Chains A and B, each alone.
Chain A
Amino acid sequence: MPLKDTFLQRYDVAVIGAGVVGCAMARRFALEGARVVLLERGSDILAGASKANSAILHTGFDAPSGSLELECMQAGYREYLQIHTRFDLPLLRSGALVVAWSEEDEQRLPGILAQAHDNGVDDVSLIDRKRLRQLEPALAANARAAISVPGEHLIDPWSTPLAYLQQALAHDAKVLREAEVASGDFDGEWWRLSTARGTLMAREVINCAGLHGDRLEHRLLGRSSFTIHPRKGQFVVFDKAAARLIERIVLPVPSERTKGIVLTRTVYGNLLVGPTAEEQQERDHAALDQAVLQGLIAAAVERIPALAGVPVTAAYAGLRPATERKEYRIENYPDRHWISVGGIRSTGLTAALGIAQHVHRRYAERHRHSAVETPLWPKLPNLAEHRERDWQRPGYGEIVCHCELVTRREIDAAFASPLPPGDLGGLKRRTRVCMGRCQGFYCGARVAELSAGHFTRALAEPLVANRRGGSHGKDHADD
């Protein structure tokens, strides 16, 4: 090893990418006693695929039987149910209905039921039109039948990975943001990684770089075992009033021809419609398209007629890190001390904990540490609408965001937390500020003021009155 490297920080494991998979990974390895560093190129965690999803905790009822994906989803599902209360993370036990809207759809239901049973999801059942109407009276009259999947739940897609990472931090993991891994060399024992925040050494690398995983692998290993084909999903979020219209997640019957869309409540108390599935080359821009969004709204209204005229709160888009194949691409390179976790396409929020277990088992074939005996469980602030929110407890100071009822106390707590937000997106994901129907009309400026000095790049510059027309100071004294 070159002499200069003796002074570099050394870790057992470098996890590259702080999406939900990287955060779960950092947690698992920290709990297993490894010295972990998590490297993220964004100014905050969840800068990639993980910032925008449907937030469903899947049972795996429709996943390919016998697949690694199914195994990880079910392991992840079980672990989430075990640990969520210790983090104070929400779980909305909504259940789901796979709704048949056509005769063709209806014919597929028995197959779906059989697959669910194959996958060990036994509490699913077929529901006829009459029962469906009783369960979900707001659905359009052409809803013919459904399969009920009571185990499909809704979770908080932002607080969840944050909780995983905070537990890792509590057990001495390090996280470096704005630390894009640019290059690295492996000397047979140690990886020497160059990041935008300096160089460090790690015995093992776990590639969780999501949409950039193949490129990272190519850059550092000289080849890559998979190719990312980003698949965009656009969503429309309806205002709070709409969330009362349905109880359960309404899933489409998958078919070869149509993708179908999901209608679901969110734990934040909105109603979501989406996502689309659109192949694209671009990996960093998930652009919205007006015509597609209008299509989603129309499709939603077709399925829930009472949605007509309900205002839209937000529209967003996420990119799935899909590859040329359907399955997860978890590749182990024992002689390179490298494991790639690629192609975690559309189930990663559910599967992350299970993926981390799986990857740790591979790692444990070559390295072992002594696991943490009594894990610490940091508590996450609650953002879910079905549980008590901060504004419902006295002493919050001020409501900053009126649409989402976000308090000054919550914003202060986010900035004072072990992993303060690095940008506005991060603050939104930690508090829901500016995410409501007015999208900052009332609170945008206040949030810019409160976040001054906290973000790497300031949102707004202080105003310097211009010489010619700088007379607004006077307005305060003109009567």
Chain B
Amino acid sequence: MIESLLDYDVAIIGAGPAGLAAAIELKHQGVARVAVLERDAEAGGIPRHCGHPPFGMREYRRVLSGPAYARRNVERARAAGVELRLRHSVVALGEGGVIDAASPEGQVRIVAKRVLLATGARETPRSTRLISGDRPFGVINTGALQSYLYLERLKPFSRPLIVGSELVALSALLSCRRTGIKPVLMIEQAEKPLARWPLALFPRLCGVPFECSTRLESIEGRERVEAAWIRGSDEELRRIDCDGVLLTGRFVPESSLVRLSHLELDAGSGGPMIDQYGRCSDPAYFAAGNLLRPIETAGWSYREGRRIAALIARDLTDPLPRSHPGIRLQCLPPIRFCVPQRLVTPIGDGLAHLQLRTERPAKGILSVRGSAGVVWQRQVHLLPERRILIPLDRLRLAAGESGLTIELEENRERSR
């Protein structure tokens, strides 16, 4: 039963870096009634439980730990007059900006002129990875590990196997090191670590052996993890004695609300479809931050939140160009996705770039093709988990364009 009805100019879902930055910007732009709905008891988002640097370099010109950074964002938002509605879990998105939330005081219906979705991203758990074997306790993601360590001060294991080598695996290593957890091994399925050099050296510096081209085959243990079975490049199956498995990375947008709603979802990014204004298929909805794509840094999400908030502020007084029919962007493998997925002409001053990701390392000529041929191209060297940007103001679009294709013409010799 709906207990109360609220209305706002802009309702923001999620008080992570993107949501808070957006709220602050909206207030600075003079939007009167701005609320952030956050399901947790505290605002701040994922950085709240990343008790390690680096955060805040661009926003605060200094290196902060996650919790310190989160606190600053919250303070800025409060100072700007943002209404923070904590313990408000949004459960449904309705047409035209009507959203339902659960709160301990009862269910709330919120009617907002515009809604910004900023629910972030999370790592892929064991179940979605379809990992073979038993299902004991102690198979968790980095995000969970960090909440154990930094929020609850608990240690879920002491000798885990770490799976994956994206940047987030390094925060896992850091956190382990600080809390006396001794990973027995770190493995990566790809031939090379996914995080950039010189960070790739980090496991060894922490005294944790590191193996590439090695995959997790199965997990063993009745109640708790007792061992993990892995297979390396020699195809030999090995049993690794450990008491936990830490599954790092492979982020997916936390887009379950979108999936259950009328909004269009992009299968490639896993987030909502947006145009260059961050606007979803229902023009009352916008999205920003890691919900848009897996995954960027907190700083990137912050700036994206701020940028899209400025566009929302404008849309409230001076409506943005209609988004339908727009120019649909299509990606061909190995390009996994492109955000935004739709462009509205004239390109104007929305987001500055197309953001792309590749599914595997590749070299070649990246091009954007329209009905009259190539509208942009460049020689590139693509690596997974590395951002690829195409500046939107460089696309030479023909009038009446309806679709663009992004493709990579790979160099003959497949790169590694």
Q: How many residues of B are counted as interface, with CB atoms below 8 angstroms from the partner's CB atoms?
A: 63
Is A445 in contact with B148, judged by CB distance below 8 angstroms? yes
Cβ-defined contact, B179 with A466, below 8 A: yes
The reply to whether A439 and B126 contact each other, CB–CB distance below 8 Å, is yes
- Contact across chains for B106 and A394 when beta carbons are under 8 A apart: yes
Binds B, one of A117-125, A180-188, A284-292: A284-292
Judge whether A294 and B130 touch: CB under 8 Å. Answer: yes
- Residues on A with C-beta less than 8 A from B218 are 287
For A471, list chain B residues within 8 Å (CB).
178
Chain B CB within 8 A of A358 CB: no
Contact A462 B154 (CB under 8 A): yes
**A392 an interface residue at 8 Å Cβ cutoff?**
yes
1/0 per position for A418-454, CB-CB distance to B under 8 A?
Answer: 0000011000000000000111111011101100100
A312 and B134 form a contact (CB under 8 A): no
What distance in Å separates the Cβ of A140 from its nearest Cβ neighbour in chain B? 19
Contact A465 B179 (CB under 8 A): yes
Q: How many angstroms between the C-alpha atoms of A311 and B222 in the bound complex?
A: 27
Known: A287-B134, A288-B131, A314-B127. A444 touches B147 (CB 8 A): yes
Q: Does A315 contact B (CB under 8 A)?
A: yes
Number of interface residues of A (CB under 8 A): 64
CB-CB under 8 A for A403 and B256, given A392-B1, A423-B223, A460-B155: yes
- Are B256 and A293 within 8 A (Cβ)? no
Which residues of chain B from 133 to 168 have a CB within 8 Å of any chain A CB? 133-135, 137, 140-141, 143-144, 147-156, 158
Residue of B nearest to A243 (CB): B260
Q: A240-B260, A445-B152, A463-B155 are in contact. Are A402 and B89 (CB under 8 A)?
A: yes
Q: Are A399 and B179 touching (Cβ within 8 A)?
A: no
Taking CB atoms and an 8 Å cut-off, the chain A residues in 386-404 that contact chain B are 391-399, 402-403
Docked complex Cα distance between A402 and B217 (Å): 30
- Give Cα A377–Cα B83 distance, bound, in whole angstroms: 46
Stretch from B67-75, B330-338, B378-386, B403-411 forming part of the interface with A:
B67-75
Residues in A whose Cβ lies below 8 Å from that of B152: 445-446, 448-449, 460
Chain B contacts for A257, CB-based, 8 A = none
Which B residues touch A445, using CB under 8 A? Answer: 144, 147-148, 151-152, 154, 156
Residues of A within 8 A of B131 (CB): 288, 290
Contact B67 A285 (CB under 8 A): no
Q: In this assembly, does B318 line the interface, its C-beta being within 8 Å of a C-beta of chain A?
A: no
User: Cβ of A284: which chain B residues have Cβ within 8 Å of it?
Assistant: 222
Q: Are B149 and A399 in contact (CB under 8 A)?
A: no
Within 8 A of A (CB), among B251-298: 252, 254, 256, 259-260, 267
Q: Which of A290, A452, A465 contacts B130 (CB 8 A)?
A: A290
Q: Quick check: is A316 within 8 A (CB to CB) of the other chain? A: yes
- Residue contacts A-B, CB under 8 angstroms, 29 given: A237-B127, A240-B256, A285-B222, A287-B218, A288-B130, A290-B132, A293-B130, A311-B252, A312-B130, A314-B127, A315-B127, A391-B89, A405-B102, A437-B128, A438-B122, A439-B125, A441-B143, A446-B147, A459-B156, A460-B152, A460-B154, A462-B154, A462-B155, A463-B149, A470-B178, A472-B150, A472-B178, A476-B67, A478-B65
Which residues of B are interface residues toward A (Cβ below 8 A)? 1, 3, 39, 41, 51-52, 62, 64-68, 71-72, 87, 89, 91, 102, 104-107, 122-123, 125-128, 130-135, 137, 140-141, 143-144, 147-156, 158, 177-180, 218, 222-223, 252, 254, 256, 259-260, 267
